[in-house]
A and B are shown apart, each in its own frame.
Chain A
């Protein structure tokens, strides 16, 4: 039978990029965000690879990737992601970044997912990143799941193991660096992924070519959304300065350094 796995993934600036806030007509944003190289949100990308892995192990499964962002940036990101695993892209042409209201974003995602032709709720695994590298709230995927009426939700997931009878075991990150182990009787379910345990899949040109056949037409047809501010106001957006007066010690012996460190550690 297989699963219908819908992965929600946003796009974020490539990890080492320098970020500076800037205020535009639609509210705060990142300076030159449209110019900065973008990648798929890291934990959402993990969710996508886990989805592909799960689909591979369960014949009859299908993977959709739902992503909200400016069409041009989505296209750029697809040039990297599309070579990794097979999926059908469901793009939404919308604003970039973590400042738009999560509730509005979730509403747009849920509406789009509900309209995916052929999607069966009874087979649905809703995947996504637990917290994005932009808003970092852990809210959007949860709300999408709630809107779709899914009452078995797991967050901070690192592993899923599906059993013969369709039930599955999930590991979620909890306090203290350990995982909570839960067992669910079956789909539908929501999994907000952390890093998971899979290595990033290799770039495969054949996968890319096959994906592109559906991705380009989907991008061309992507419907545009404006996100309601929903009463959210930004009082201030700033880059906190954290400059300390660093004391650089070049001439202390290892013994002296060790003694100083131990004293510092013991002090209140």
Chain B
């Protein structure tokens, strides 16, 4: 007979639960319903009152660890908090969001609970058992795993469940006391990359990927890097898109080649880069070779603009490929977007 604990934490501002945590709550409720298991929610926050109201009625018990120490996303304090919540709940399955905060500590917590952990879980299934789906080899191989050992911790990837929406009901919160050892680490704040614009936007509907073709010689025999940069920046800001890049384009930075200064390895999609989730994706001047496209796994609708009619995108990797000059196309797209914005 399984019992489920969903661990949640406050978002950066500290009052409400993070979006990922609310998604984990949904996952927990679905699993509990399927297995007819008892559900508990645990909260880590400075003050759990508001957070608890968000999940009122979601579960039988709501536990919380509160305190000033938990405003910081920090290994020692978060691990202690989660460990205490696990001990209080004594669940066989522990779910949590794959947030950077919980990813930092949850394996250690599982170890302290004499349990096991699987992370980056994209689906939890199984008829009357628990099976977790996750990717291997940078999203190139998909596996479904099951484990006998308990407690089994599962960190759930963002975007794989709907966020739990509040149902009516006041929350009775059990506060769990935690005695913290001395802290040697303090979180000082955040730092954004040295660009004026923050162009990695995980919540954007559209992912825009710039490939190495932008910095290659154009039909007039010249390289037009400044123009390329302008077109890309203008588009990304006008469309509110998230900016990604192929590996070859960000690698150019190391060769002393003229390159787009606002691109760093953080923008890289595929291979050692990220696998972002967006409803739509537009690839430009990019060949669409396999290792890069693997990073597109969670992009819904895909279109590409490329001068090569035989590029990888044309073979089943995109919905539409426009064989055209991206400089020309994006120039006109920007004009249309500007017109539309102007008329609002």
Interface set of A (CB-CB < 8 Å, partner B): 12-13, 15-16, 18-19, 21, 28, 30, 42-43, 98-99, 101-103, 133-139, 142-143, 145-147, 151-156, 169, 171-186, 195, 199, 230-240, 242-250, 252, 254-255, 257-259, 261-262, 264-265
Contact = CB atoms under 8 A, between A and B. Distances in A.
B313 interface: yes
Contacts of A154: 75, 104
Q: Is chain B's interface secondary structure helix, strand, loop, or mixed overall?
A: mixed
Contacts of B282: 261, 265
Contacts of A12: 137
18 contacts: A15-B271, A103-B117, A153-B108, A176-B201, A177-B198, A180-B189, A230-B116, A231-B116, A231-B149, A236-B143, A237-B142, A238-B143, A239-B141, A244-B316, A246-B315, A247-B319, A250-B323, A261-B322
A134 B202 contact: no
B276 to A, nearest CB: 10
Interface residues of B, number: 93
Contacts of B107: 102, 138-139, 142-143, 146
Given A178-B191, A180-B187, A255 B108 contact: no
B33 interface: no
B185 interface: yes
A257 B206 contact: no
B257 interface: no
Contact of B147 (A179, A232, A243): A232
Contacts of A139: 107, 117, 119
A180 B340 contact: no
Given A156-B100, A246-B318, 16 more contacts: A98-B136, A99-B136, A134-B137, A138-B120, A153-B104, A174-B190, A175-B99, A177-B192, A178-B193, A180-B189, A181-B191, A235-B144, A237-B136, A254-B328, A257-B329, A262-B340
Contact of A28 (B119, B143, B314): B143
Q: Among the interface residues B149, B202, B332, which one has the most CB atoms of the partner chain A within 10 A?
A: B332
Interface stretch (B48-56, B86-94, B213-221, B297-305): B297-305
Q: List the 10 closest pairs (A to B, CB-CB), nearest first.
A: A177-B200, A258-B332, A243-B316, A254-B328, A146-B108, A231-B148, A153-B75, A235-B144, A142-B107, A139-B107
Interface of B: 73-76, 79, 99-101, 103-105, 107-108, 111-112, 116-120, 131, 134-138, 140-149, 181, 184-193, 198-202, 205-206, 239, 254, 265-266, 271-272, 280, 282, 290-291, 297, 301-303, 305, 309, 313-325, 328-333, 335-337, 340
